[in-house]
Chain A
Amino acid sequence: MRKLLSLLLITAVTFGAAAQVKEIRVLLANHPYGELLKTAIPEFEQATGIKVNVESLQESQLTTKLTTEFATNLSSVDVFMTRPLQEGKMFYKNGWYEPVTGYDFADFPKNAMDVVTFGNKTYIVPLVTEWQVLYYRTDLFKAMGIKVPSTFAELEAAAKKLNADGVSGFASRGKGAAAVTQLSSYVYGYGGRYLDQGKAVFQSKAAVDGIRFYGKMLSNYGPQGITAMSWENIMPLFQAGKVAMWTDASVFYGQIVDPSKSQIPAENVGIANVPAGPKAQNPFIVVSWGMGVAKQSKKKDLAKEFLAWATSADLAKRGMMVNITAARNSAWTDKDVLATVNKGLVQTRAFAAKNGFPLDRPYMSAVGEARDRIGELVIESIATAGASKNLDAMAKDKAKKVDELLEDTGEYGK
């Protein structure tokens, strides 16, 4: 009896240990690329014998979860999806990313590498590139004889014409902090920026003009309650045929035309460049998601094996087939991909890659709070249809607050 028990114990311990060695914990985002990985992970498990424990979270909750786990030094996370522009600086400063070594980065564009490299080391592998586009209803455009707007003035005229009973002429995120990324291309169109050389510059006349235009468009032609709406509120409206034009990230195309979710047939959805502002046509084009290995991981070899697979050119190509816009260059020259993927995506990417700006938010450690501050301006602008008399003073005040945040984190003027 005793022998049997000890035998059982030994087997349990060995198997337990074996299972422990060949197991990793991966945190993914609720994002099309995360969904792609979830369906593909069984193949990885079969090929390598590594068991992958996956958790998926909504993007801001993912940041929160990673931060609390890493900050308390109790994390068992091995690999995670991460947003370089949102948390990259902060995670790097806190030493939470393991440097990615021995990885071939030749397939990635230079401006993508810029935001994942700190000092002379790379910490994140870029996964997804997003740029801003204008989604529009080709059927409504045709019915009213409107051509695709190429300037802000034409955008406004089109929105005015399309804005009819039950259909909003134009939509874009209006929910404070969430709107900051989509507002950026409008600010750039007027020649403004959020930050310049480590200082807040969104109080400049150019930037404020961009914020006013954005507020005017949403107030006059946007859906009801737009100041509480982000993409997750606008997409269902677009899918239900309640919105005629919508500017947001390119990544949503796949979901917009998904026949199981949308009442609008794919052929009625057009994609175009965000129109040119009075000064420029610089849509943002950013590395929205990447993947990293946790510094605290105790299984870095397994983690790196997973990282190499999850960020491979093969998976990037598979993503492209379902309109997930990969960061890798090779994914955009593949013949199969070019035959399948929406032409509008290919064209707008080519335009943004050439003319775009590689940031869509104030790029700093305290970005969450800075976005809230700029978000206050968005809400004020929408509430007054862009005519607020306070907006200039408010912008100055918020810029000062953002400068203080930059000082707090030692990034001011850098």
Chain B
Amino acid sequence: MVGQNFLERNLRFLFPLPAVLFVGLMMVFPVAYTIVLGFTGWNLTSADTFRFVGFRSFTRVFEEPRFLDAVLRTFEFSALAVAVETTAGVALALILHRNFFGKGLVKLLLLLPLVATPVAIGIVWNLFYDPNIGLLNYLLSALGLPPSQWVYSPDTVLPALALVDIWQWTPMITLISLAGLAGLSSEPYESARVDGANSAQILFRITLPMLVPTILTAVVLRSVDALKTFDIIYAMTGGGPGYASETLNIMAFKFSFEYFRMGQASVVLVALFVVVLGFSLAIMKLRDWAEK
């Protein structure tokens, strides 16, 4: 009886408890632990265990020229991928928003890249990209264009990887935009038509401005994912040639599981965390501003 009373009195703590525990264990703890690890010199190759070394791991990572390159590359890859995905995704959504024969089938086909496994995608695209026996160079030469080395050259590897990301994730932006389009109220359109606006005016003065919050949401979701991209890059290039496609996430993987410098790998991950968090906050501020 006493127990029951206690429970009833404390229901407001009890009900959120599972959620609090989940967030604590699965989100707060790993991040906090990674930050703590960043202050250790934990290194498996030297049998150097969990010893605190202050900021030494931070300075050693920041002094490494690869680190700044990786930061810039992370942004370059994400900016390229998300910019094209957003433009193409919204354009596709506008086209698909009309009724036409076979619309259901087109929508279904658009979903396919989204559900494919990234590593399998990477392997298949690598075959396309192969500069000696690949399909894409064959197509280029059939069109009379010069061949490219795609992911096999440091000069072209980032755009080539972004292309795969674009192929896979543009449909997601399309789907989100379609949902946004479906939710727009029809009144402004009716009055615009009464006022004699043409379709370009309707698109740029009504549809797109009303769609901006939706697009920004899609951009946030995509950017956070793009900044953290690991699977496609790891499967296709492993960060190479050399370090030419080494983003922060790939660098963290190499530092931890190839160099076994757990402390320094944690520093790289903390940096990635800050980058993603800062970027998301900035975009969210932008969205608030756009909604006003």
Interface check B154, CB cutoff 8 A: yes
Contact with B along A197-226 (1 / 0, CB 8 A): 000000000000000000000000001111
Q: Which of B222-276 contact A (CB under 8 A)?
A: 237, 240-243, 254, 257-261
Interface check A93, CB cutoff 8 A: yes
Q: Which of A323-381 contact B (CB under 8 A)?
A: 365-366, 368-369, 372, 375-376, 379
Nearest CB in chain B: distance from A264 CB, A:
14
Interface check B82, CB cutoff 8 A: no
| Segment among B38-46, B94-102, B200-208 that sits at the interface with chain A | B38-46
Q: Kindly state the separation between the CA atoms of A227 and B240 in the bound complex, as whole angstroms.
A: 8
Q: Kindly state the separation between the CA atoms of A176 and B240 in the bound complex, as whole angstroms.
A: 8
User: Given A375-B242, A410-B46 in contact, is the A223-B258 Cβ separation under 8 Å?
Assistant: no
* Chain B residue nearest in CB terms to A404: B60
Q: Kindly state the separation between the CA atoms of A57 and B242 in the bound complex, as whole angstroms.
A: 24
Inter-subunit contact A224/B240 (CB<8 Å) = no
* Chain B residue nearest in CB terms to A65: B257
| Segment among B10-18, B126-134, B181-189, B283-291 that sits at the interface with chain A | B126-134
* Chain A residue nearest in CB terms to B64: A401
Q: Kindly state the separation between the CA atoms of A6 and B197 in the bound complex, as whole angstroms.
A: 82
List the B side residues contacting A71 at CB < 8 Å: 44
* Chain B residue nearest in CB terms to A380: B242
Inter-subunit contact B260/A67 (CB<8 Å) = yes
Q: Kindly state the separation between the CA atoms of A2 and B44 in the bound complex, as whole angstroms.
A: 53
Classify chain B: how many residues form its interface, as a range.
20 to 34
Inter-subunit contact B237/A228 (CB<8 Å) = yes
The SS class assigned to the B binding surface is loop
Interface check B143, CB cutoff 8 A: no
Interface check B112, CB cutoff 8 A: no
Inter-subunit contact B130/A225 (CB<8 Å) = yes
User: Given A64-B258, A368-B259 in contact, is the A227-B44 Cβ separation under 8 Å?
Assistant: no
Contact with B along A60-76 (1 / 0, CB 8 A): 10001001100100000
* Chain B residue nearest in CB terms to A166: B132
List the B side residues contacting A94 at CB < 8 Å: 44, 47
| Segment among B103-111, B145-153, B168-176 that sits at the interface with chain A | B145-153
Contact with A along B130-145 (1 / 0, CB 8 A): 1111000000000000
Inter-subunit contact B242/A227 (CB<8 Å) = yes
Interface check A409, CB cutoff 8 A: yes
Contact with B along A218-262 (1 / 0, CB 8 A): 000001111111000100110010100000000000000000000
8 contacts between A and B (CB under 8 A): A90-B44, A223-B132, A224-B131, A225-B153, A227-B240, A229-B152, A366-B260, A408-B45
5 nearest A-B pairs in the assembled complex, by CB-CB distance: A225-B152, A224-B131, A227-B241, A365-B45, A409-B46
Q: List residues of chain A with CB under 8 Å of any chain B CB.
A: 60, 64, 67-68, 71, 90, 93-94, 168, 175-176, 223-229, 233, 236-237, 240, 242, 365-366, 368-369, 372, 375-376, 379, 383, 408-410
